[in-house]
Amino acid sequence: MTDHLSQIRDLFGGEEGWEVGDFIHSFADPKQAILAWSVFFPEFEVVNGQVVLGPLLPEQRSQLEESQGSRESAGIVNSFRWREVPYLFSVRDSTNRRHDHHLAELMAMSWLLKLQMEFPGESWKTRVFSEEETGGVVGVGFENT
Protein backbone atom coordinates (compact mmCIF):
# COMPACT_ATOMS: atom_id res chain seq x y z
CA MET A 1 0.00 0.00 0.00
CA THR A 2 3.01 2.28 -0.37
CA ASP A 3 1.42 3.84 -3.44
CA HIS A 4 -1.68 4.57 -1.37
CA LEU A 5 0.36 6.44 1.22
CA SER A 6 2.15 8.40 -1.51
CA GLN A 7 -1.24 9.37 -2.97
CA ILE A 8 -2.37 10.57 0.46
CA ARG A 9 0.85 12.56 0.97
CA ASP A 10 0.42 14.11 -2.48
CA LEU A 11 -3.14 15.18 -1.66
CA PHE A 12 -2.66 16.38 1.91
CA GLY A 13 1.00 17.19 2.46
CA GLY A 14 1.45 16.43 6.14
CA GLU A 15 4.51 16.17 8.30
CA GLU A 16 7.62 14.15 7.48
CA GLY A 17 7.23 10.58 8.69
CA TRP A 18 3.45 10.64 8.89
CA GLU A 19 1.62 7.36 8.31
CA VAL A 20 -1.96 6.85 7.14
CA GLY A 21 -3.35 7.07 10.68
CA ASP A 22 -1.78 10.52 11.13
CA PHE A 23 -3.53 11.79 7.98
CA ILE A 24 -6.86 10.30 9.04
CA HIS A 25 -6.57 11.91 12.47
CA SER A 26 -5.59 15.31 11.03
CA PHE A 27 -7.77 15.62 7.93
CA ALA A 28 -10.67 13.16 7.94
CA ASP A 29 -14.16 13.79 9.20
CA PRO A 30 -16.14 10.77 10.49
CA LYS A 31 -19.10 11.87 8.34
CA GLN A 32 -16.91 11.52 5.24
CA ALA A 33 -15.98 7.97 6.23
CA ILE A 34 -19.63 7.03 6.67
CA LEU A 35 -20.52 8.59 3.34
CA ALA A 36 -17.55 6.93 1.62
CA TRP A 37 -18.97 3.52 2.53
CA SER A 38 -21.52 3.98 -0.29
CA VAL A 39 -18.75 4.62 -2.80
CA PHE A 40 -16.67 1.62 -1.79
CA PHE A 41 -19.50 -0.77 -0.96
CA PRO A 42 -22.38 0.22 -3.25
CA GLU A 43 -25.85 -1.23 -3.19
CA PHE A 44 -26.36 -4.05 -5.67
CA GLU A 45 -29.74 -5.13 -7.00
CA VAL A 46 -30.78 -8.25 -8.88
CA VAL A 47 -33.05 -7.85 -11.90
CA ASN A 48 -33.96 -10.91 -13.98
CA GLY A 49 -31.12 -12.78 -12.28
CA GLN A 50 -28.58 -10.11 -13.23
CA VAL A 51 -26.66 -8.14 -10.60
CA VAL A 52 -26.47 -4.40 -11.26
CA LEU A 53 -25.55 -1.28 -9.33
CA GLY A 54 -28.40 0.20 -7.36
CA PRO A 55 -30.44 1.82 -6.23
CA LEU A 56 -32.50 1.69 -9.41
CA LEU A 57 -35.22 4.11 -10.33
CA PRO A 58 -38.50 2.42 -11.36
CA GLU A 59 -37.91 3.30 -15.03
CA GLN A 60 -34.40 1.81 -14.90
CA ARG A 61 -35.77 -1.41 -13.42
CA SER A 62 -38.43 -1.51 -16.16
CA GLN A 63 -35.78 -0.97 -18.84
CA LEU A 64 -33.77 -3.92 -17.50
CA GLU A 65 -36.84 -6.14 -17.15
CA GLU A 66 -38.10 -5.33 -20.64
CA SER A 67 -34.70 -5.93 -22.22
CA GLN A 68 -34.50 -9.56 -21.07
CA GLY A 69 -34.08 -11.88 -24.02
CA SER A 70 -33.45 -9.09 -26.50
CA ARG A 71 -30.29 -8.63 -28.56
CA GLU A 72 -29.49 -5.51 -26.54
CA SER A 73 -29.95 -7.20 -23.15
CA ALA A 74 -26.25 -7.78 -22.38
CA GLY A 75 -25.33 -4.21 -23.31
CA ILE A 76 -28.13 -2.76 -21.22
CA VAL A 77 -27.14 -4.87 -18.19
CA ASN A 78 -23.49 -3.83 -18.62
CA SER A 79 -24.50 -0.16 -18.68
CA PHE A 80 -25.80 -0.63 -15.11
CA ARG A 81 -22.56 -2.23 -13.95
CA TRP A 82 -20.10 0.65 -14.02
CA ARG A 83 -19.61 4.27 -12.96
CA GLU A 84 -17.50 7.19 -14.14
CA VAL A 85 -15.54 7.94 -10.98
CA PRO A 86 -15.13 11.76 -11.04
CA TYR A 87 -18.85 12.27 -11.78
CA LEU A 88 -19.82 10.66 -8.48
CA PHE A 89 -18.75 13.92 -6.83
CA SER A 90 -19.93 17.50 -7.37
CA VAL A 91 -16.47 18.87 -6.50
CA ARG A 92 -14.07 17.44 -9.04
CA ASP A 93 -11.11 19.80 -8.76
CA SER A 94 -9.58 18.42 -5.55
CA THR A 95 -7.93 15.50 -7.36
CA ASN A 96 -6.09 14.96 -10.61
CA ARG A 97 -6.28 12.08 -13.11
CA ARG A 98 -3.71 10.04 -11.20
CA HIS A 99 -5.71 10.37 -7.97
CA ASP A 100 -8.93 9.49 -9.79
CA HIS A 101 -7.29 6.36 -11.19
CA HIS A 102 -6.10 5.36 -7.72
CA LEU A 103 -9.62 5.92 -6.34
CA ALA A 104 -11.02 3.74 -9.14
CA GLU A 105 -8.56 0.98 -8.23
CA LEU A 106 -9.63 1.15 -4.58
CA MET A 107 -13.27 1.05 -5.62
CA ALA A 108 -12.66 -1.96 -7.87
CA MET A 109 -11.03 -3.85 -4.99
CA SER A 110 -13.83 -3.10 -2.54
CA TRP A 111 -16.60 -3.77 -5.10
CA LEU A 112 -15.09 -7.20 -5.76
CA LEU A 113 -15.10 -7.99 -2.05
CA LYS A 114 -18.73 -6.97 -1.68
CA LEU A 115 -19.81 -8.91 -4.78
CA GLN A 116 -18.03 -12.02 -3.50
CA MET A 117 -19.65 -11.61 -0.10
CA GLU A 118 -23.20 -10.95 -1.34
CA PHE A 119 -23.15 -13.40 -4.25
CA PRO A 120 -20.73 -16.16 -3.21
CA GLY A 121 -22.05 -18.67 -5.76
CA GLU A 122 -20.97 -16.49 -8.67
CA SER A 123 -17.55 -15.59 -10.03
CA TRP A 124 -16.75 -11.88 -10.39
CA LYS A 125 -14.22 -9.58 -11.95
CA THR A 126 -13.90 -5.83 -11.41
CA ARG A 127 -11.82 -3.49 -13.48
CA VAL A 128 -10.83 0.09 -14.05
CA PHE A 129 -11.87 1.65 -17.36
CA SER A 130 -9.45 4.10 -18.98
CA GLU A 131 -10.43 7.58 -20.13
CA GLU A 132 -10.28 6.31 -23.71
CA GLU A 133 -12.80 3.56 -22.97
CA THR A 134 -15.31 5.86 -21.28
CA GLY A 135 -14.84 8.86 -23.52
CA GLY A 136 -13.20 11.15 -21.01
CA VAL A 137 -12.78 10.02 -17.39
CA VAL A 138 -11.71 6.94 -15.46
CA GLY A 139 -14.42 4.44 -14.61
CA VAL A 140 -14.90 1.28 -12.58
CA GLY A 141 -17.14 -1.67 -13.31
CA PHE A 142 -17.77 -5.35 -12.78
CA GLU A 143 -18.83 -8.46 -14.66
CA ASN A 144 -19.40 -12.17 -14.16
CA THR A 145 -16.53 -14.43 -15.16
Per-residue pLDDT tens for 85-127? 999 999 888 999 999 999 999 999 999 999 999 999 999 999 9
Mean of the pLDDT values across residues 62-89?
Answer: 94
Query: For the CA atoms of 43, 125, 108, 47, what is the dihedral angle to 10 degrees?
Result: -20
pTM: 0.92
pLDDT above 60 for 76: yes
